[in-house]
Amino acid sequence: METLTPAHIAAFEAVLNRVPSEDRARLHALKDPAADAAAASAPHWDFDQPGHRAEEALQAAFGPALTDDHRRALVAIWALEMPARVPAADLPEASLELYPQWIDRLAAFLIEGANPYDRDFWAKDVRISLVLSVPGARTQMIDLSSPMGPGQILRHAREGWGWSVIPAYAAARSWKPWLEVHTESRELSDFNEAGWDRAWATAAEILKRRPEMAGMLGSSWFYDPPLEQISPRLAYLRVNPLKHGAFLIHQGPGEIHTRRAATSSPTRAALIEKGEYTARSWIVAWPRAALIRWADARKARLAQAA
């Protein structure tokens, strides 16, 4: 696979050339230590940690002169290094075949140069350009290491959400690192049942190459069980994994979950406003053996139908 086309290279170099030559020299000096710090923080439960480490490196180098052009330029430098990073990650074809679309989108976004650089987009672009997260489908990205500690399992049980999660946690050897799925809001064409199936199946292929991992998890308000009645079109997000061996862990309500649940649905917004619905975040955790078994069966069905 050709990771970067000549058009990609020209776009990233154009982004880099927007900053003065002396600033480019400082960016090249900090790119490797900043990348190392970002990679070291990537297994943290906080998805934003690599972006924070990159931001700290930029702040130290540029201080109050730091602009979003510097941030975009650093991502562009790392993107230009992807031909070395992507092969080193030993990814399956299911993920590799998605890279052209993801890199097209990254290049277009950086060239556009929208200000301010949205913090969520910054976090995602740092992770993608450093191959800390990889394509799972057109809309879903997959973190290559994420923890699930026992504390949240015990809290789930103590708060009355069910004790069966404890043996499920133990059976999955959940203290091992997990893959974790995230939604890329700049491209929602795969936010549907087929797209999510593709993302879970991509995860299964990654897990086959990484026997040290426990499975893949997701964390969001859209796994909330009441949505099966409130927003039945979203039920597949929770129901499909649960049918095939996944388990749920309650995380709780929060302002960010309320805001996200209300944003895309007048129905949910009205229920929240009236106090009739409280959006809660849940983890859906799909252990490796069950996920691989489901993905292999899906692959066989698709091959038979072809």
pLDDT of residue 53: 98
Q: From first to last of the 306 residues of the chain, give the pLDDT tens digit.
A: 578 999 999 999 999 999 999 999 999 999 999 999 999 999 999 999 999 999 999 999 999 999 999 999 999 999 999 999 999 999 999 999 999 999 999 999 999 999 999 999 999 999 999 999 999 999 999 999 999 999 999 999 999 999 999 999 999 999 999 999 999 999 999 999 999 999 999 999 999 999 999 999 999 999 999 999 999 999 999 999 999 999 999 999 999 999 999 988 999 999 999 999 999 999 999 999 999 999 999 999 999 998
pTM for the model stands at 0.96
Which tens digits make up the pLDDT trace of 130-166?
999 999 999 999 999 999 999 999 999 999 999 999 9
Question: What pLDDT, on a 0 to 100 scale, did the predictor assign at position 1?
Answer: 58
pLDDT of residue 2: 78
pLDDT of amino acid 130? 98
Contact 283, 152 (CB under 8 A): yes
